[in-house]
Structure 1
Amino acid sequence: MPKSLLIISRQAPWSGPAAREALDIVLAGGAFDLPIGLLFLDDGVFQLAPNQSATAVQQKDLSANLQALSLFGVDDVFACGNSVLERGFPPSGPNMDDVQLLTPEEITVIIDRYDQVITL
C-alpha cells in the first residue's frame, strides 16, 4: 500500500516558486493515485483568494491548478480557518468550495493522519 502524503503550502502565490511547486507535487501525486492531501497554512491561504491578477506580476495563474485538484483525485484539501480570517477574506468563494477549514487542533490531527509531510 502506498504511503500517504500531506503537502503543507505556507507561501503566498507570488512570493516565489513554493506555491506552484506545492500544487505540482499534489497534482503529480494525484495522477499516480497516491493518497495525498493539501493544507494551506499561514500566507499559503492567499492561494485561495479570488480574483488574483497573475499577469500583473508576470506569473501564471494558479487558480486553474486548484480547480483541477478533484480531477486528479485530490479530495483532501484543507485550510487553516484562523489563517483565512486573519488575512481578511471570507471563508466562502470560488476557490473555497471544496476546502475544509480547520482549527489548530484539527490541523494537528490531520498532520498525524499522514505517513509523510512536506512543507513548502
Structure 2
Amino acid sequence: MAKSLLIISRQAPWSGPGPREALDIALAGGAFDLPLGMLFLDDGVFQLMPGQAPGQVQQKDLTANLQALPMFGVDELFVAASSLRARGLDSVPLSLEAQVLEDDALAALVDRFDQVITL
C-alpha cells in the first residue's frame, strides 16, 4: 500500500516557487493515486482567495491548478482557521472547498499521514 502524504503550503501565491511546487507535487501524486491531502497554513491561505490578479505582479495564475486538484483525486483539502482569522479572511468565501480546522485538530491531521512535506 502506498504511503500517505500531507503537503503543507505556507506561502502566499506569488511569494516564490513554493506554492507552485506544492501544487505540482499534489497533482503528480494524485495522478499516481497516492493517498494525499493538502493543508493551507499561514500565508498559504491566500492561495484560496477568489478574484486574484496575478498578471499585476507578472505571475501565472494558480487558480487553474487549484481547481484541478479534485480531478486528480486530491479531495482532502484543509485550511487552518487561525491563519484565516489572523489575516482577516475568516468570513471570505474560499475559491475551493476545504475543511477549516482549528489548531487542536492540526496535530491530529498531521499524525494521520505517513509523510509530510512543507513548502
* Counterpart Cα distance in 2 of 1:82 and 1:10: 13
Q: Which amino acid aligns with 1:23?
A: L
* Counterpart Cα distance in 1 of 2:91 and 2:67: 17
Q: What percent of counterpart residues are identical?
A: 62
Q: Deviations over 1:24-67 (max 9, x none)?
A: 10011000000010000000001011111100111110111111
Equivalenced residues, count: 119
Matched position secondary structure for 1:34:
coil
Q: Which amino acid aligns with 1:99?
A: A
Alignment-derived partner of residue 100 in structure 2: 101
Q: Which amino acid aligns with 1:85?
A: R
Report deviation, 1:68: 0.8
Q: Could you tell me whether the CA contact under 8 Å between 2:43 and 2:83 is conserved in 1?
A: yes
* Counterpart Cα distance in 2 of 1:118 and 1:69: 17
Alignment-derived partner of residue 33 in structure 1: 33
Q: Which amino acid aligns with 1:106?
A: A
The ranges of structure 1 where at least 4 consecutive aligned residues each deviate by more than 3 angstroms after the TM superposition are none
Unaligned runs of 5+ in 1: none
* Counterpart Cα distance in 2 of 1:106 and 1:94: 20
Give the TM-score normalised by structure 1.
Answer: 0.95
- Root-mean-square deviation (CA, aligned residues, Å) is 1.1
Alignment-derived partner of residue 3 in structure 1: 3
* Counterpart Cα distance in 2 of 1:115 and 1:30: 16
* Counterpart Cα distance in 2 of 1:114 and 1:70: 19
Matched position secondary structure for 1:39:
strand
Report deviation, 1:90: 3.8
Q: How do 1:1-120 and structure 2 match up within 5 A?
A: 1-96=1-96, 98-120=97-119
* Counterpart Cα distance in 1 of 2:74 and 2:33: 9
